[in-house]
C-alpha cells in the first residue's frame, strides 16, 4: 500500500495539527483487533493511566499472553502505547485519544440500539462491539445529533465528547459499601447479558435510589432496599454494581 497517497487523501478535522494528522493517518489503518486492544488497555488503566500488564490484557481479551506481546509491539511501533519492560504498558496521548473515540462510538451505538431500535439493555453491548469499528466521523456526529447528544450509555457509563473529554462520575462498587450507606444505582461494571438479565429479574433499574440494610459477612451478599422493595444481592453481583453515594 502506498502510505503517502493514503495520507494525502485523508481530510483531517479543522484545528488538528500536523502531529495529530499523522496519527489520524494511523487511525484510519488500525484493524478492529488493534482498536480492541487500545480499548481494553484504556479500560484496564482507568483514570490514572496506570501501567497495565500483559497478563491483565490477555485476561480481558480472553487470549494468550504471547498474542498480547505481539500486539503490544505493533501498537508501540505505531506510537500508540508506551511499553516498559517487565512492568506493563500505558497509552500515549494519541493512543488514548483513539481509545476514547472508540468508546464514544460504542456508547453512542448502544444508546441508538436501545432508544431507536428497541433493543433490551442486555442486547446492545454485543452489537455495539461490531458497530464501534465503523470508520466515519460524519456518521458518528450525525448519530450523536440524532440522539440529542446523550451523556450516558444504557449502562450508566459517560459518553466521551468529540474532543475526547469524559466525565468522571464519583462512584463506588456496592461490594465496597457498608450497612446504612445510601445512594443511587448509577452503573454496572459488567455488561454481560447474564448479569443484566439478573438485574432485570431483581427489577433493579439505573437511577434507583438504594439503601444498604446489611452486609452478610458469610457470603458477602447485601440486603438492600429500594423505594418499593427489599432485595438480596449476591456477593458476585455486588462487585458489578456501581453506587453514587450520598454526600454525608
Angle between helices 124-131 and 93-115 (to 10 degrees): 130
Give the nearer residue to Zn ion in terms of CB position, either 70 or 126: 126
The phi and psi torsions of 158 (rounded to 5 degrees) equal: -70, 145
Give the nearer residue to Zn ion in terms of CB position, either 39 or 125: 125
Supply the minimum distance, in Å, between the C-beta of residue 158 and Zn ion: 13
The region that residue 220 occupies, defined by phi over 0 for left and psi between -120 and 50 for alpha, beta otherwise, is left
Supply the minimum distance, in Å, between the C-beta of residue 143 and Zn ion: 15
Give the nearer residue to Zn ion in terms of CB position, either 56 or 128: 128
Give the nearer residue to Zn ion in terms of CB position, either 36 or 221: 36
Give the nearer residue to Zn ion in terms of CB position, either 44 or 76: 44
- In the block, cell 503490544 appears at 72
Distance between CA atoms of residues 50 and 45, nearest Å? 5
User: CA–CA distance from 221 to each of 34, 179, 195, 225, 231 (Å)?
Assistant: 38, 11, 15, 13, 10
CB-count exposure of residue 52 (10 Å: 0-12, 13-18, 19+): buried
Note the residues at the interface with Zn ion (CB under 5 A): 125, 191
Supply the minimum distance, in Å, between the C-beta of residue 154 and Zn ion: 8
Give the nearer residue to Zn ion in terms of CB position, either 78 or 125: 125
Contact 225, 247 (CB under 8 A): no
Torsion of CA 175, 177, 179, 180, to 10 degrees: -140
Supply the minimum distance, in Å, between the C-beta of residue 134 and Zn ion: 15
Supply the minimum distance, in Å, between the C-beta of residue 171 and Zn ion: 17
Give the nearer residue to Zn ion in terms of CB position, either 104 or 125: 125
Supply the minimum distance, in Å, between the C-beta of residue 110 and Zn ion: 5
Supply the minimum distance, in Å, between the C-beta of residue 198 and Zn ion: 17
Amino acid at each position: 500500500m502506498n502510505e503517502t497517497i493514503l495520507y494525502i487523501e485523508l481530510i483531517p478535522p479543522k484545528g488538528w495539527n500536523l502531529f495529530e494528522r499523522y496519527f489520524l493517518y494511523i487511525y484510519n489503518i488500525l484493524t478492529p483487533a488493534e482498536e480492541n486492544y487500545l480499548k481494553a488497555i484504556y479500560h484496564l488503566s482507568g483514570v490514572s493511566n496506570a501501567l497495565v500488564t500483559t497478563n491483565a490484557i490477555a485476561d480481558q481479551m480472553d487470549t494468550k499472553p504471547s498474542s498480547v506481546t505481539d500486539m503490544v509491539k505493533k501498537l508501540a511501533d505505531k506510537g500508540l502505547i508506551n511499553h516498559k519492560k517487565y512492568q506493563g504498558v500505558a497509552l500515549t496521548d494519541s493512543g488514548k485519544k483513539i481509545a476514547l473515540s472508540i468508546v464514544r462510538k460504542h456508547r453512542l451505538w448502544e444508546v441508538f440500539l436501545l432508544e431507536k431500535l428497541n433493543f433490551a439493555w442486555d442486547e446492545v453491548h454485543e452489537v455495539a462491539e461490531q458497530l464501534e469499528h465503523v470508520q466515519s466521523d460524519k456518521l458518528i456526529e450525525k448519530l450523536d445529533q440524532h440522539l440529542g447528544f446523550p451523556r450516558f450509555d444504557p449502562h450508566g457509563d459517560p459518553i466521551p465528547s468529540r474532543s475526547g473529554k469524559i466525565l468522571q462520575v464519583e462512584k463506588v462498587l456496592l461490594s465496597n459499601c457498608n450497612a446504612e450507606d445510601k445512594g443511587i444505582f448509577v452503573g454496572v461494571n459488567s455488561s454481560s447479558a447474564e448479569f443484566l438479565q439478573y438485574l432485570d429479574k431483581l427489577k433493579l433499574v439505573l437511577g434507583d435510589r438504594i439503601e444498604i440494610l446489611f452486609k452478610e459477612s458469610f457470603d458477602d451478599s447485601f440486603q438492600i432496599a429500594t423505594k418499593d422493595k427489599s432485595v438480596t444481592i449476591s456477593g458476585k453481583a455486588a462487585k458489578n454494581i456501581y453506587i453514587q453515594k450520598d454526600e454525608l
